[in-house]
Amino acid sequence: MTQLVSLEWLYNHLNDPQLIIVDCRFQLGQPTAGKEAYLRDHIPGAFYLDLDQDLSAPPSVHGGRHPLPDPHMFAAKAGAIGIGDNVTVIAYDDQGGAMAGRLWWLLHYFGHHRAKVLNGSYTLWKKQGLPITAERPTAQPRTFHPQINHRWLASMEEVKAKLNDSHTVIIDSREGARYRGEQEPIDPVAGHIPGAKHYFFKETQLADGRFKSGEALAEHFAGISKEQEVIVYCGSGVTATPNVIALMEAGYQQVKLYAGSWSDWISYQDNPVATGDE
């Protein structure tokens, strides 16, 4: 089942009362830029959720730069904008599906399986002349019941235990220079989890920001058997989510996110670090 909806589909369902649209635009290093962009204009009916304030817990010693939010805090924020158990949620961003993918993943992890990501950026929506507005919608609050689905998440301990497991493939979603440890602009240690394969998340997408077809994605990941479990990570569990979506679009059934990702991995001093190409 696809995890994506087209621009045309969303345009045709803008007035569906059982649909909640969420603008997830966010720029790392400019924490207010996404909200400011939303206030200027957005897809009609869209609410805004912020990566730092709504889709993450405050950082601590472990858990990475964007720790998973408390289930009940997240449920309260989701419910406040009308996300209940029986509505469909469509998330979008302008960051290659990374921020929208974070919300999509969180909803599935917390047991809400009617979440999709818009296949195409907000910029593409505007370029195609589809409607935009600065008007903020009025929320009709609903109750969201979080029910954690553990098969969506890999813990640090699980990743460490499976480093040499032939049944598991670990994917690093960051840019090549960060994977190889040639540069590290964000985290205090450079490199990657030993044995991880490199698949930069933006390679799953076309130039206009839409995901490649399922067939093209299957070819992209052809080096990974569909019988294997795949654990995906990035710097802080955000830009890995487009790879999670792409793997599922390609037909992979056993896909987990290591949500703490590299910034969590290196918070444990005895965890091994690799550099260069595998």
Residue 111 φ/ψ region, left for φ over 0, alpha for ψ in the -120 to 50 degree band, beta for the rest? left
Kindly name the residue from 55, 170, 234, 257 that is annotated as catalytic. 234
In angstroms, rounded to a whole number, what is the distance separating the alpha carbons of residues 161 and 168?
10
Residue 234 a catalytic site member:
yes
With CA atoms as reference, report the closest residue to 171 among 257, 62, 276, 270. Answer: 257
Q: Outline where 81-146 has alpha helix (H).
A: 98-109, 122-127
With CA atoms as reference, report the closest residue to 26 among 85, 89, 101, 90. Answer: 101
In angstroms, rounded to a whole number, what is the distance separating the alpha carbons of residues 181 and 57?
27
Amino acid at 176: G
**Residue 113 structure tokens:** 């399986």
- Helix, strand, coil content of the chain in percent (nearest 5): 30, 15, 55
Q: What is the b/e burial string over 133-159, where b = at least 16 CB atoms within 10 angstroms of the residue's CB?
A: eeeebeeeebebebeeeeebbbebeeb
Contact between residue 51 and residue 102 where contact means Cβ atoms under 8 Å apart: yes
In angstroms, rounded to a whole number, what is the distance separating the alpha carbons of residues 155 and 157?
5
Contact between residue 88 and residue 20 where contact means Cβ atoms under 8 Å apart: yes
Dmax (CA) of the chain? 53
Q: Which residues are catalytic?
A: 234
